[in-house]
Amino acid sequence: MKKDVIFTVPSYFRDDMDIMGYRFGKGEKSCAVLGALRGNEIQQLYVCARLVAFLREVERDGGIMPGKSVLVVPTAIGLSMNAGTRLWAPENTDINRCFPGDMDGATTEQIAGALFEKLKAYKYGVQLTSFYQPGAFVPHVRMMETGRQNPELGCEFGLPYVYVRTPRISDQTTLNYCWQLAGTQAYSLYAGKTQEIDEAAADQTLRAIIRFLNGRGIIRSEQTPGQKSTVITNEDIISVTSKHAGLLRRVKHAGAHVRRGEQLAFVINPLDGSVKEMLKTPVTGMLFFIQDGPFVTEHSPVFQVLSK
Amino acid sequence: MPVLKEIAAVASVTMPIGENWTVSRCRYSTEGETKGRLCIATGIHGDERMGQMIVYEVAQKIQREPEHLHGVVDLYPMLNAIGLDVGQRMVPTATMLDMNRVFPGAPDGTALEGICYAVLQDMKGADLVMDIHTSSQITSELYGVRLHERDADVMIPGAYALCPKVIWVLPDKPGNNASLTGALTMEGTKAVVLMVDERRLRVSSVTSEVVDGIFCKMKEMGIWTGETKAAPNQDEIPCMWEEKDICRVTCKHPGIYVPRELNGTFVREGDVLGTIINALDGAAVETVVAPESGLIFTERRYSAVYPGTLIARLCRKERA
């Protein structure tokens, strides 16, 4: 294992922030794995830390295939993680909205630029990412529809779903989008929770990455069989939205199978406890996403039901 | 002819505890024939409050001289009302998103997407939309008009009437297209950003030049017949068509930046713009100089900086 400093952000008030990369093997730049790009992506950091520990053992046992190499970057935003802020605090900006970056730009653009310069050289790319809403997903592989996406390859992670999403205008500055356009087969993995460690989801995500690395002939290690993946698109997802604002009391959780008309959650008046609304699923399917914040506003998307 | 004043809710979302987030519009209009419709929006970023004073001054002038209004003026001063209340740039709900990156929104999307969609629909079809932004607390901006590359050819001739100090054509980038003015431009509605200095200690010195520019533009549009400032000579206002017209000055070291406060002045190559200090060492770690000559139109204020932090933007063009 080689430890590289990918980029350093000198700081006036605090210690300098080094973005560390952990390299395994030599030769072709086969696969890069990126963890936290936001200060609250604790689960993403945790999965990467465990992946580094795992690959260290694989390398020791001669399991990195000749001529192949893997790069793991656990976090690009340690300074904000220490301070407990989601965005890059000095500029209040989201690094995952700054790609492909600019080495002559502001600090976040430089961070994105330095990372991208390293990452785009890899054949395969895996980003452990979080959703912009607080909540939990069924672990899945996601990619944007750029015309260069390869969902069939995404099935090699062995997760139950590979989600091909139509990008919005604002998505065009994300890593996944730019990574694909630069020629890397890029995948985003949603590893359950974000701000706290979810051991079961972390295990599942770690196993998926190991399966992919084995499947692509990059490492040789023990692995567990994956599931047969189903490729899904926006059209397979039905959003269940609250009509009222209040406290959210969930009845169902991510991954649950639900039948049409089944109760999912209650929206409660936060002052008198009366039920303002009962959320029901309009279709039979599986709860792909649940919002897990305590409050909902009017028109909040609370659940995503996968009807496929 | 009397001026009609009507306040209406353009969009509203119920918050969890006894509150609605409402985007309101105040419309000033005249009965009968209208010469056009102008929309003025501000407050999309909660830490930018100078727009409140500008919109107030526009409303005051219309109310003082109602006989001069010959069209519709729609004022939307509080787009991100909750952010403005707490002084936070982003929308302070659980998602913490930048409202100016969510346009055009979606009618069946999240609460924020729904609000953005409703705002856009309400403004669509206006003859001109102005979105007033102000510099953050850590930068100083010269009054400028920023417009989008997509329709710059059409928009620039009319931008001079706003009497800005500079005109800047924003490149056609994804982030810009998800802004209010970017999305409106893509929908075929003319829209510009007015960039104003957030200078809370001398408010009127900033607002008066912007308000004068707005009424000058209204006169050009035919919806205002009162006395206004004379439209400037186009040759006097530098117009930055491309990125190469702008010189970005950044710093190399972290520390506290102490500016010389030169915004709005021409500097020569090698002129000192400011100093970066380190209090612990008791040392000046960097003297930031102008790499070339130009007009400073963005200047960093006294604040903490990192390597690469933007210290100043210089306009390389002295004339249009």
CB A305 within 8 A of CB A240: yes
The pLDDT of residue B147 = 94
> For each of chain B's 320 residues, which pLDDT tens digit applies?
678 999 999 999 999 988 999 999 999 999 888 999 999 999 999 999 999 999 999 999 999 999 999 999 999 999 999 999 988 888 987 677 899 999 999 998 889 999 999 999 999 999 999 999 999 888 999 999 999 999 999 999 999 999 999 999 998 877 788 899 999 999 999 999 999 998 777 788 889 999 999 999 999 999 999 999 998 888 889 999 888 899 999 999 999 999 999 999 999 999 999 999 999 999 999 999 999 999 999 999 999 999 989 999 999 976 65
Shortest CA gap A94–chain B (Å): 10
Identify whether residues B147 and B264 lie together within a single domain.
no
Q: B320 in a domain, yes or no? A: no
Boundary residue ending a domain (B240, B266, B286)? B240
What is the predicted ipTM? 0.75
Class in CATH terms, A2-228: alpha beta
CB B304 to CB A241 under 8 A? no
Identify whether residues B197 and B301 lie together within a single domain.
no
Q: B269 in a domain, yes or no? A: yes
Ranges of each domain in chain A: 2-228, 235-306
Query: CB neighbours of A161 closer than 8 A, spacing ≥ 6?
Result: A138, A140, A141, A229, A230, A231, A232, A288, A306
CB B275 within 8 A of CB B286: yes
pLDDT tens digits for A30-42?
999 999 999 999 9
- Considering CB atoms only, which of A12, A97, A106 is closest to B255? A12
Identify whether residues B225 and B162 lie together within a single domain.
yes
Greatest Cα-to-Cα distance within chain B, rounded to the nearest angstrom: 70
* CATH number, position B153: 3.40.630.10
Taking 3-state DSSP, the helix, strand and coil percentages for chain B, each rounded to the nearest 5, stand at: 30, 35, 40
Boundary residue ending a domain (B190, B223, B240)? B240
CB B249 within 8 A of CB B294: no
Identify whether residues B202 and B280 lie together within a single domain.
no
The pLDDT of residue B231 = 85
The domain defined by A235-306 folds into OB fold (Dihydrolipoamide Acetyltransferase, E2P) (2.40.50)
Q: B176 in a domain, yes or no? A: yes
Identify whether residues B212 and B146 lie together within a single domain.
yes
Identify whether residues B179 and B120 lie together within a single domain.
yes
Ranges of residues in chain A with a pLDDT under 50 are none
CB B96 to CB A87 under 8 A? yes
Q: CB contact, 8 Å: B258 with chain A?
A: no
Q: B158 in a domain, yes or no? A: yes
Equal fold, A2-228 vs A235-306: no
Q: How many of the other CB atoms lie within 10 Å of CB of B193?
A: 24
Residue-range definition of the domain harbouring residue B249: 244-315
Number of domains in chain B: 2
Identify whether residues B204 and B262 lie together within a single domain.
no
For residue B268, with 0-12 CB atoms within 10 Å meaning exposed, 13-18 middle and 19 or more buried, which class applies?
exposed
CB A132 to CB B114 under 8 A? no
Identify whether residues B91 and B131 lie together within a single domain.
yes
Chain A CB contacts of B18 below 8 Å: 271
The pLDDT of residue B271 = 98
Identify whether residues B84 and B186 lie together within a single domain.
yes
Q: CB contact, 8 Å: B95 with chain A?
A: yes
CA B23 and chain centroid, separation: 18
CB B177 to CB A169 under 8 A? yes
The helix/strand/coil state of A56 is helix
Tokens of B116: 């953005």
The pLDDT of residue B94 = 65
Identify whether residues B139 and B119 lie together within a single domain.
yes
Identify whether residues B189 and B301 lie together within a single domain.
no
Identify whether residues B158 and B224 lie together within a single domain.
yes
CB B163 within 8 A of CB B232: yes
